[in-house]
A and B are shown apart, each in its own frame.
Chain A
Amino acid sequence: MERVYSGAFLVLIGLGAAYLAIGYGIGDSQEPGSGYFPFILGLTLTGLGVVIAIREFRSSPAESSNGKWPLWQLTCIISALLAFALLIGGVSSTGFRGAGLVPAMFVLVFITGLAGRKLTLRENLLLSVVLTMLSMAIFVALFGIAIPLWPWSY
């Protein structure tokens, strides 16, 4: 079923894009507006999505099984990135301005490390410290990027 949904998803995007494109002004072929090309693309995508959905629907179910989603790995990596974004950028509505690059990198590596399920807690902590220090050396000392490093550097 997952494969049929992929076609349906493309149809949704295509229709959505075409709808928004109408709002941007399609114009006509003599004076194409901002929505002219996106409108064509949206409709094309819709058509292709329909073809894909129908084709997948017809194909035998044995072919369309894909195994399980790697939920653990995806969750780890996505939450590691969200934590990084939060720690480095803060949340403007709460007045939290961020904790700096160093804690952000540490947390990023630690949560990512969980995704492999093979590191022990001690190994993971060690890896996080080493990689944080290494990238400090590369990005801050060598490239000299200007990002606040600590919670108090803002």
Chain B
Amino acid sequence: MELLQHIATGFAQAATTTNLLYALAGCLLGTLVGVLPGLGPVATVAMLLPATYALDPIPGLIMMAGIYYGAQYGGSTTAILIKLPGESSSLVTTLDGYAMTRQGKAGTALALAALGSFFAGCVGTFILAAFSPQLAKVAFHFGAPEYFSLMCLGLIGAIALSSGDVVKALAMTVLGLLLGMIGSDVTSGETRFTFGFLELEDGLEFAIVAMAWFGFGEIIWNLTQSDPSQHDTPQNVSRLRISWRDMKVALPAIFRGSAIGTLFGVLPGGGAVLASFASYTVEKKLGPKPGEPAFGEGNLRGLAGPESANNAGAQTNFIPMLTLGIPSGPVMALMIAALSVHDIQAGPQILTRNADLFWALVASMWIGNLMLLVLNYPLIGIWIRLLAIPYKWLFPAIVLFCTIGVYCISNSSFSILLLAFFILFGYAAKRLQFEGAPLMLGLILGANMEEYLRRSLTLSGGDWTVFLYRPLSATLLSLCGAMLLLMSLSSVKVKRRQVFADAEA
């Protein structure tokens, strides 16, 4: 009952005109960047970060969240219509979704994706609302050693669940942590690794690195590939309708997808991408029922499952970020950065000290998902027309908006130089298959992790075994160790590669 009360106050907060407008703006913007290839939610949220500094935290967070889950909706639209996954999480949607379009069933596919996403979004949000307070209660008993071990688990987990090379990802994590050391040391006040630049004394601005890596990195990558705007012209979608018979086939997949997505969203480094892959694998393993088309040839479940999973995952992604302060991906890390500008520390105290913010966010997610469902159909025509804009016109605009965004963070041209440096660095890394996400997570957690490590060591009188004597901390660390061990075993390595390749093939 307490839950219902909280949700009611959340709705009262979220349903003010201002907050509704920001939710709408976030959803629309999210769908837009989900549709456009070469501009993802990370770059968009980073671009808007300076704008949210000026906003109140509630509308700011509502808008950023809208961008994040809105992008999942937008990404699936283009995946279905023109086999172009606007977001990596809708990669599997291209398989059966585009097959349906070729069979002239684009309307059914779009309707099914939208309904599945909506249902899963609601489930994910409900889990977020119901589960977070419980988790926060547990987290209140965490001491410094537990937090340190939890952060280790977050970082290692993100590596285990990414598709790339483990050693390289570890190196990027450590490099990120090191970059997080730049600036003044909280404890002693000593400035570290600033190389004499006054501008670095407050630390390395997270948004600059995110923008360089995910905004500009993507652009340079696209420019060297063949023109991404050259694709099939989408056919007209006459009507979005789905028959009750199709729905009955798809419904179990939607349920399974929602469950899988909810689970993967909570895991560190999991989130929408992995959830959709996992759901597709499950549906494929269950096999097509008699009378159903094969997977990859327009199977309804192969579309509905992953679509539901990525949306549920996008919502439950917020659980570890809000209740523990552990981001599972770059967008969540950006939100932690945005909150900290308003002196709100992501963590269990958010549910007591900033309860209105939390519940308003939860309510706005339901509202936003409904908005997306309703707006999806009338807007599809506009999105398709936007896709006709050639990339050569588009990328200078993205560069301009990103650059102004970076400049506005601190009104100094130093941040532009920093951006240029990290563009070169990010491109080189991407070229050599070093991933950006672990670096981002390390960068955002670096300062906190150091703080918790120091506090643990001081409390225990300099005894490193404190991490092993406390049962919870020991459990978390042994999980880390188990994951690292598993990843380094060659048989698992092969299996892991297979799973990722399987989902793509």
Q: Which residue numbers of A lie inside 8 Å of B, CB to CB?
A: 2-3, 6, 10, 13, 17, 20-21, 24-25, 28-38, 41-42, 44-45, 48-49, 51-52, 55, 66, 69-70, 73-74, 77-78, 80-82, 84-86, 88-89, 105, 108-109, 112-113, 115-116, 118-119, 127-128, 131, 135, 139, 143, 145, 147
Contact = CB atoms under 8 A, between A and B. Distances in A.
B344 to A, nearest CB: 23
Interface stretch (B102-110, B168-176, B236-244, B284-292): B168-176
16 contacts: A3-B432, A10-B171, A20-B193, A25-B188, A25-B190, A38-B193, A51-B167, A52-B167, A66-B432, A70-B224, A77-B219, A77-B423, A82-B416, A112-B396, A113-B396, A147-B407
A38 B181 contact: yes
Given A44-B174, A66-B432, A34 B190 contact: yes
A57 to B, nearest CB: 14
Given A34-B187, A36-B454, A115-B223, A84 B192 contact: no
Contacts of A31: 458, 462
Contact of B392 (A55, A119, A139): A119
A116 B432 contact: no
A5 to B, nearest CB: 9
B413 A66 contact: no
A88 B408 CA distance: 12
Contact of A6 (B170, B391, B434): B434
Which of B411, B413, B419 is the most central at the interface, judged by chain A CB atoms within 10 Å of its CB?
A: B413
B392 A32 contact: no
A29 B168 CA distance: 29
B188 A81 contact: no
A45 B190 contact: no
B412 A81 contact: no
B181 A116 contact: no
Contacts of A33: 188
- Pairs of residues from A and B, 9 with the lowest C-beta to C-beta distance, nearest first: A89-B413, A30-B462, A29-B462, A85-B413, A85-B416, A48-B171, A37-B450, A118-B392, A116-B392
Interface of B: 51, 54, 167-168, 170-171, 174-175, 177-178, 181, 185, 187-188, 190, 192-193, 216, 219-220, 223-224, 227, 390-393, 395-397, 399-401, 403-404, 407-408, 411-414, 416-417, 419-420, 423-424, 427-429, 431-432, 434, 449-450, 453-454, 457-458, 461-464
Given A41-B178, A89-B412, A109-B400, A32 B432 contact: no
B404 A139 contact: yes
Given A28-B462, A74-B424, 17 more contacts: A6-B432, A10-B171, A29-B457, A29-B463, A32-B453, A41-B177, A48-B167, A81-B416, A82-B416, A82-B420, A88-B413, A88-B416, A109-B396, A112-B400, A119-B393, A131-B400, A139-B408
Nearest to A145: B408
A17 B457 CA distance: 22
Nearest to B51: A143
Contacts of A113: 392, 396
A104 to B, nearest CB: 9
Contacts of A131: 396-397, 400
Contacts of B178: 13, 17, 38, 41-42, 45
Nearest to B399: A112
B396 A32 contact: no
Given A51-B167, A73-B220, A135-B404, A20 B192 contact: yes
A1 to B, nearest CB: 11
Contact of A45 (B174, B188, B408, B413): B174
Contact of B427 (A28, A51, A74, A80): A74
A124 to B, nearest CB: 8
A94 to B, nearest CB: 14
A86 B413 contact: yes
Given A52-B167, A77-B216, A108-B399, A127 B393 contact: yes
Contact of A24 (B190, B416, B432): B190
Contact of A85 (B392, B399, B417): B417
Contact of A34 (B185, B224, B462, B464): B185
Which of B171, B190, B391, B458 is the most central at the interface, judged by chain A CB atoms within 10 Å of its CB?
A: B171
A23 to B, nearest CB: 9
Contacts of B464: 29
A52 B187 CA distance: 34
Contacts of B429: 6
B401 A135 contact: yes
A143 to B, nearest CB: 7
Contacts of A105: 400, 404
A118 B192 CA distance: 45
Contacts of B393: 119, 127
Contacts of A77: 216, 219-220, 399, 423
Contact of A116 (B188, B395, B423): B395
A66 B223 contact: no
B171 to A, nearest CB: 4
A45 B419 CA distance: 23
Contacts of B461: 30
A69 B427 CA distance: 10
A98 B278 CA distance: 53
Contact of B395 (A35, A51, A55, A112): A112
A41 B174 contact: yes
A52 B172 CA distance: 12
B39 to A, nearest CB: 15
A24 B432 CA distance: 32
A80 to B, nearest CB: 7
A52 B416 CA distance: 31
B400 A108 contact: yes
